[in-house]
Amino acid sequence: MSRLIYADNAATTQMDIAAFEAMKPFLTNEYGNASQPYAFARKPKKALQDAREIIASCIGATPEEIIFTSGGTESDNWAIKGSALLNANKHATITSAFEHHAVLHPCQALERSGYPVAYMWPSREGYITAEILKEYITGQTHLTSVMFANNEIGTVQPIKELCAVAHENGSLFHTDAVQAVGHIPVDVHDLGIDMLSASAHKFNGPKGVGFLYIRNGLKVMPYSDGGAQEFGLRAGTENVAGIVGMAVALKNNCDTLEENTRYVARLESRFVSLLESSGIKYVRNGGVNRLPGLLSLSFPGADGEAVLHRLDLKGICISTGSACNSKNTEVSHVLQSIRLDDNYAKGTVRISLGKSNTEEDVETILKALMKIFHT
């Protein structure tokens, strides 16, 4: 088998070695419960405090606005359900039709409980604009939830403009920023975000840990009842090792953000240049403002699933779309939402390059695609 080429960084990322090393003491010798008052618990307790401060500084928040969770899915569920269930009048929630299922499914659960939900259709380029939001929002809208960057086509949404429209109409604004945090600049206070979801394994941290930013003064229903952890909002003993690893990974990514972006952009540019000159017929999905390194490519008349498996046989890892929905061979809801022709949609793959990829990787991927489409 050929050398493994991992080009599915939008699905998960390689663990940051410094983050792994930072976790180890809390998995071995420093195993104390951070909620306890004795001396042995002081290091875990301080580690949580330090991690909260580091993460807050990376997204322009204050430490008390960071609530640790098990990941993006929990954070999304909490933001959507936790704000809606406090609203006795069952006011509406607005989201987009191309959100991750971690947002869509909680919204559907609200609908089953009698809460109205509206689903905005993005433009064909993959954007929810302020004008689109204005068509849907009313004075009865309680929460607007729009992802920061789409996980399948990479389009980065105009979050600051959307926040302004939401607030002008008395709505809170939540964003699923799982694909954005650690990869592009995010400043929650400057943008006007009320709640933001993030997941560590998307920015080289460990799996099974994430956070929810909740703006100071905003009330949400506690996620779980029990102990007083996480300011009384999320009961349960904290995953100290995971939280420490998450903070280190995020800080490392944010400290090298510009360098990483330039490097990944060069790899992307090299790949696109090679693809353009290859003679392979394709379209690239999404507008011009996209996450660096994420390419949604549609090959007319092809079978995206077959392309994935043929590349897999060569040791190349890519995706047909959302990694969380890889068992479903139907055209993804994201591609449907941008009205992509079925002939193209069924032949769609996602290549997501990261800082660990090389120019040799992109050349090898292109050569493999040429063998698939020129034989």
pLDDT exceeds cutoff 50 at 163: yes
Please give the average per-residue pLDDT across 320-340, as a whole number. Answer: 77
pLDDT exceeds cutoff 70 at 321: no
Percent of the chain with pLDDT over 70: 97
In degrees rounded to 5, what are phi and psi of residue 316? -110, 125
Architecture field, domain 5-14+257-373 = Alpha-Beta Complex (3.90)
CATH topology of domain 17-255: Aspartate Aminotransferase; domain 2 (3.40.640)
Catalytic residues: 324
Residue 327: pLDDT band by 50, 70, 90 thresholds?
Answer: low
- Dump pLDDT digits (tens) for 223-272: 999 999 999 999 999 999 999 999 999 999 999 999 999 999 999 999 99
Please give the average per-residue pLDDT across 140-157, as a whole number. Answer: 97
Q: Tell me which of 79-88, 151-160, 287-296 is least confident.
A: 79-88
Domain residue extents for the chain:
5-14+257-373, 17-255
pLDDT exceeds cutoff 70 at 26: yes
pLDDT exceeds cutoff 60 at 11: yes
Residue 91: pLDDT band by 50, 70, 90 thresholds?
Answer: confident
Q: Tell me which of 59-68, 71-80, 296-305, 317-326 is least confident.
A: 317-326
DSSP string, 167-206: HHTT-EEEEE-TTTTTTS---HHHHT-SEEEEEGGGGT--
- Dump pLDDT digits (tens) for 174-191: 999 999 999 999 999 999
Query: How far is residue 173's CA from residue 196's CA, in Å, rounded to a whole number?
Result: 9
12 Cα distance to chain centroid: 10
Q: Determine the pLDDT at residue 89.
A: 78
pLDDT exceeds cutoff 80 at 324: no
Q: Determine the pLDDT at residue 86.
A: 84
Please give the average per-residue pLDDT across 48-69, as a whole number. Answer: 98
209, amino acid identity:
V
Please give the average per-residue pLDDT across 14-19, as a whole number. Answer: 98
Q: Determine the pLDDT at residue 330.
A: 79
Q: Determine the pLDDT at residue 328.
A: 56
Between strands 210-214 and 195-199, the pairing is antiparallel
Instruction: Please report, for residues 74, 109, 214, 230, the alpha-carbon distance to residue 233 in angstroms, rounded to integers and kept in the order given.
Output: 13, 21, 11, 6
Residue 322: pLDDT band by 50, 70, 90 thresholds?
Answer: very low
Question: Directed axis angle between helix 304-313 and helix 359-373, to 10°?
Answer: 120
Please give the average per-residue pLDDT across 331-344, as a whole number. Answer: 95
pTM of the full structure? 0.96
pLDDT exceeds cutoff 60 at 18: yes
**Strand, coil or helix: what is 367?**
helix
pLDDT exceeds cutoff 70 at 329: no
DSSP 211: E
Mean pLDDT across the chain? 95
